[in-house]
Structure 1
Amino acid sequence: MVLSIIEDCSLVSFSLFNHIMGIHQTLLTKRNWTPNEELKTCKLCGKEDSDGDTMAEKTKRPIQVSESNSSDEWDVVVAIDIGTSFSGYAYSDKKEIKNNNINLNIWNANTTVSQTSKAPTVVLLNKNKEFDSFGYEAEEKYAGHVANKTHMECYRFRNFKMKLYQEKKISETLEIPDDRNIVSMPAIDLFASTIRAIKQHFEKAVEGRGLTFNSDNILYVLTVPAIWSESAKEFMKKAAKKAGICEHQLLLALEPETAALFCRTLPDQMINTEFIFEPGAKYMVLDLGGGTVDIIVHKILDDGTLAEVYKASGGAWGGTVVDKEFKKFVSSLFDNDNCLEELWNLAPMDALDLEREFEAKKRNVTKDSTSALRLQLPQRLIMFSKANLQDEKPKSITVAHMYIQSEEFKSFFTLAKKEIIKIIENILKEVGTIDSVILVGGFSCSVFLREEIKRHSAFSKLKFVCPRDPGVVVLQGAVLFGYNPRAVSARISRYTYGISVLVDFNENIHPRSKHCVEDGEENCKDVFRVLAFEGDLLQYDEVKILALTSRHRSQDRKNVCMKIEMFQTQNVVKDKLVFVTDEGFTSIGKILFHPPESGWPDLVKYESKFFFGQTNIRVEACESGNNVTIYTSFELN
């Protein structure tokens, strides 16, 4: 049997096996290989190093965050949460964290909002398509450009986080259009600009407090939805690196997990203080964000750590779904599908004020609300009306206000509510009884939505709890997670992960279209070999080991990277022959193995270790004989 590792370059032989709870077991079930069994040769791709790091730098890299056991290693932990609508950060040093003191940042705005713990996820570029500003500053500058009729010389980007959820194939060349669809910019630059702006805001904030930290001893925790793909997570790591954060100082955290950690560690912050986190308890975290709904189910183990009992689930049913329904209402009211877009272009501050007032109403309306909800009416919005407002809609429009009947306002939630309830019901069918549901995220600030979920008949026996400020618990929990990344000890694999392999060709089971000849022998190409199955419970330290031998006799092969391409899919039946070219398979990207400064020896024997039980797939590699670390990196397609 031969494993195919992408292109024609060098000859490799290796065995594939598991290391679970200290016991090496065979991973390839069709052949009873032993760890030392010699396999047929295959070809391993090489590529010149392109990440900009020198070989000397790679040999000096500190250990990965997830390898560290010490909570005192970092002077300060900074959590960064880039949301669909709003973004922010929180931080705590190793003295403050002992008393559970976590600092939330403050953003100032010259609008109807004075101070907030999050800023709008808005990036403004100048006429040269270079970064200008972020957050409230970006909104206010853009409004100034509109007032001065110079807004065609700048470009505004909003709500771009959803692109990483919606896009099936994520690469570093992915582009996102600005609000006016005039220009498109690399998504990685927009995310890097956002991360950099937040990082600089943190640095100014601690400087203002008179605090000093060693920049090499700061850990940055970047939160991501649990339902994101591995490609999206790797994309965010690359964006953070581009923003100036060193890889060894970066840790990804899953948003609903960090929310659970905060609620568990600080129970006095809960609305319902009867909720108790104790061994054996099983609960659901319902993270209702601006763009997505992110759901996990945890069980508390006897050692106090958390373990997933169902794979992360969710969908694009966040608060922006309600916003879209409101926009439909306004478009219908004024008989103009583009009236709000025209308001944004002509008077962005008026549009912002309307948007923020609607957000406040969205949070405060309840199931018992009966009076019409009143919103300040931007006078410029009337300019875009194609309807005769006085004759046709006298109850909805006055000179200064827009009125929405309470039942119609509540109907804006119908679609999101329906889909959220459906997801919860499906999960409960799989996991059975749970003790409680924790509601977090900005969308869970909506009183009406919380009430509607709680009163659903299928959830009558569930206990629902919610922090007093659910919109920032992800940030606060991410700080805690940074000091204890092993707090979640086991996770459920969302997909089946593996690599492409070559096997001996068998005309009785293999299609002729997959026939190939390698090293003079007939093989079947593109066979999918599993490393981890969908639904597997994977321990934090559980490792899949790939032992390889690679020949580099040719001088032009001494300083090239070796590659392994990884794939993900779902609904794979164990022991069933499938191919990576089948429908439903997605390439995650390629693992690159970088040569040492002196180049590869003629024969390289090394082990690659895959960790699937952490917040993202982590890969380590070392030479088998001397355990010298081989630097690895991830290349998006």
Structure 2
Amino acid sequence: MDIRMEDIRVIVAIDFGTTNSGFAFVHKENQNDPNAIDINKIWPGDESGLNAKTPTVLQYDSKYKNVTAWGARALDQDKPWLPPQLNYKQAIKDYLTEMRKLIEKRLTTWNNMVKFPDQVRIVLTIPAEWPPHTTGVMRECAYKAGLLSKLSSNNLEFTTEPEAAALHCLNVVKTHNLKSGDSFCVVDCGGGTVDITIRKLLEKDVLGEITERIGYPCGSTFVDKEFLKFIGGKVGLHAFSELKTNHYNQIQYLLQEFFFRRIKRKFNGKQSEWKTIKLNLLKYCSKLQDYVTGDRKTEMENAGWTVKIDFPSVKEMFDPVVNKILEMISDQLKASKEKCSAIFLVGGFSESSYLVEKVKENFRFQVDSIGVPTSAISAVVQGGLYYGLNVNTVKTRVLKWTFGIEVAREWVSGKDKKTRRSSDGLIYTFECLAKRGSKVDVNEPFTKIFYPVRANQEVLAFKIYCTKSADGKFCDDQGMKYVKTLKINIKDVHNGRNRPIEFSLTFGQLECKAAAKNNRTGHLYKEISFVMEE
């Protein structure tokens, strides 16, 4: 039995990120009160109450059977990669299980009358670049983690991180004097990926999408990598690599306790306000001296294992990442055919005053307003809550893929390649239904009429494919991906080939529906759903 929306009492949004994750919840009755949103900030190993996210990290026992720590507490582990004893589904399930335990604990403390999970709508925000089978995998993992009472439960919703970030920005558009019809750019600066889209504010606070989302791995962790590269240049890259392999926890300690607190969070790009910092490496990486050899070791011993970090060095850590983000914003503004009224920066890296100032410096003459919304670091999880309460908020989308089906026709000598001729004298080609870059209304169908290839044909298979290319000729072209097959039975063979069948693709919130019906009678043969790939 499906759960009715009127039975839902609490919305829980889970931001399952590649670097950090978090969750928040709100009672449905208090949905119009921003102060009623509860963003979790108490985590295992981090009870400071300052952080809206915790690392997406697990620590297992020696047999990889049981989770011994997760989140910030798991950063003490020595190995950062997924061991061969584990597969990614198991790791996702285990992480969501730990998340679910904490959510249940928080909900019980907050309101022990809420029945979990039957009175809770779960919204999972996922990275936009994840492949098309992602939601199926995540649904399975969520079910096994105890977030759902049954696999097919309808109290689970999905939305992408960039879309959730844009929904959060709806809370601030009016304070920036945006009105219906205005467009704004959302720059979601996460730890791993930066996603940028331009959205349009429509009537009744719904959103349209103006440009195709672009994303690139240039989030804040790449500034961390530049810092580690700088340290490696001082002690020797091989020595630093050995430390990372054998004592990963010390690398994390150096990043969290020194780089983040003393440099990354405070750097604003103003040389007059910068004082050179002395870093005692052995204070944070005591095992480092075991791997440094030769002249490098002599130099470091003479310096007391101290490294001086001056302004130009720090600027060189930030600039490759910041410049890539500026390039991406510029590309999106050029791609939009409409004036962009505002730029909103959200995500963890939006806390960087240097990044914000560089964006303002570069685009202040193109865009009227540039800012960082309140609670920008938790924008995705708050946008997830908004989506869970208002699933019809997104009105239009820009297709990220070209969709079509495989069709057959008679092979023609002199026109078609011999290698393309099938054993039964046919040639199979790609028939485009919806082209990448098209702006479509949510639940807008794309339809075409097709006919049987043979007069006595009783079964018809619509094989759906997608490609990043705006065009495609054959379903085995490079970059072409098989999605799903809709197979129907057509028994009215007395009409021969004169049997028009209307095939349609309808693009919903995250799902796409494929349907085939008799064009003469309107009879629906069959309908299937699949998840669109971002």
Alignment TM class, shorter chain as reference: 0.7 to 0.9
Query: Which of the residues 251, 255, 258 maps onto 2:164?
Result: 258
Q: CA–CA distance in 2 between the matches of 1:372 and 1:547? A: 70
Q: CA–CA distance in 1 between the matches of 2:80 and 2:517? A: 42
What one-letter code is carried by the residue in structure 2 that aligns with 1:200?
K
Q: CA deviation at 1:202?
A: 0.6
Query: Which of the residues 528, 539, 542 maps onto 2:441?
Result: 539
Greater share of helix:
2
What's the TM-score once normalised by structure 1's chain length?
A: 0.70
User: Among the aligned pairs, what percent are the same residue?
Assistant: 24
Matching of residues 427-576 of structure 1 within 5 Å: 427-432=332-337, 433-456=339-362, 461-518=367-424, 522-525=425-428, 527-544=429-446, 565-573=463-471
Query: Which of the residues 575, 578, 583 maps onto 2:473?
Result: 578
Q: CA–CA distance in 2 between the matches of 1:618 and 1:374? A: 59
Structure 2 counterpart SS, 1:364: coil
Q: Which residue of 2 aligns with 1:134?
A: 70
Query: Which of the residues 71, 79, 82 maps onto 2:16?
Result: 82
Q: CA deviation at 1:565?
A: 4.2
Q: Which residue of 2 aligns with 1:615?
A: 510
5+ long unaligned stretches in structure 2: 453-458, 493-498
What one-letter code is carried by the residue in structure 2 that aligns with 1:79?
A
Q: CA deviation at 1:484?
A: 0.6
Q: Contact 1:546 / 1:607 at 8 angstroms: preserved in 2?
A: yes
Q: Which residue of 2 aligns with 1:590?
A: 484
Work out the number of aligned pairs and report it.
Answer: 504
Q: CA deviation at 1:223?
A: 0.9
Q: Contact 1:252 / 1:615 at 8 angstroms: preserved in 2?
A: yes
Q: CA–CA distance in 2 between the matches of 1:390 and 1:634? A: 55
Distance 1:222 1:635, change over 3 A: closer
Q: CA–CA distance in 1 between the matches of 2:442 and 2:529? A: 20
Q: CA–CA distance in 1 between the matches of 2:340 and 2:464? A: 35
Q: Which has the higher contact order (CA 8 A, sep 6+)?
A: 1
Q: CA deviation at 1:314?
A: 1.8
What one-letter code is carried by the residue in structure 2 that aligns with 1:434?
C
Q: CA deviation at 1:516?
A: 1.7
Q: CA–CA distance in 2 between the matches of 1:539 and 1:463? A: 28
Distance 1:295 1:615, change over 3 A: farther
Superimposed CA distance per residue, residues 250-303 of structure 1 (whole angstroms, 9 cap, x where no aligned partner): 211122222222222256xxxxx8413310111100001111111110111234
Q: CA deviation at 1:476?
A: 0.7
Query: Which of the residues 298, 301, 324 maps onto 1:419?
Result: 324
Q: CA deviation at 1:311?
A: 0.8
Q: CA deviation at 1:566?
A: 3.0
Q: CA deviation at 1:204?
A: 1.5
Structure 2 counterpart SS, 1:337: helix
Q: Contact 2:17 / 2:127 at 8 angstroms: preserved in 1?
A: no
Superimposed CA distance per residue, residues 159-186 of structure 1 (whole angstroms, 9 cap, x where no aligned partner): xxxxxxxxxxxxxxxxxx43xxxx2632
Alignment RMSD (CA, Å):
3.7
Q: CA–CA distance in 1 between the matches of 2:531 and 2:128? A: 20
Distance 1:302 1:210, change over 3 A: closer
Matching of residues 162-181 of structure 1 within 5 Å: 177-178=82-83
Structure 2 counterpart SS, 1:185: coil
Distance 1:622 1:510, change over 3 A: closer
Structure 1 counterpart SS, 2:466: strand
Q: Contact 2:511 / 2:530 at 8 angstroms: preserved in 1?
A: no
Q: CA deviation at 1:120?
A: 0.8
Q: Which residue of 2 aligns with 1:226?
A: 128
Matching of residues 324-363 of structure 1 within 5 Å: 324-339=225-240, 341-342=242-243, 345-346=246-247, 348=249, 350-357=250-257, 358-360=259-261, 361-363=263-265
Distance 1:482 1:547, change over 3 A: farther
Q: Contact 2:194 / 2:215 at 8 angstroms: preserved in 1?
A: yes
Greater alpha carbon shift after TM alignment, 620-629 vs 78-87: 620-629
Superimposed CA distance per residue, residues 85-136 of structure 1 (whole angstroms, 9 cap, x where no aligned partner): 2111111121121323211113335479665321111022333332414212
Q: Which residue of 2 aligns with 1:164?
A: none
Q: Which residue of 2 aligns with 1:557?
A: none
What one-letter code is carried by the residue in structure 2 that aligns with 1:523?
L
Q: Does 1:407 align with 2:296?
A: no
Q: CA–CA distance in 1 between the matches of 2:516 and 2:143? A: 21
Superimposed CA distance per residue, residues 224-261 of structure 1 (whole angstroms, 9 cap, x where no aligned partner): 23344434455444443443434422211122222222
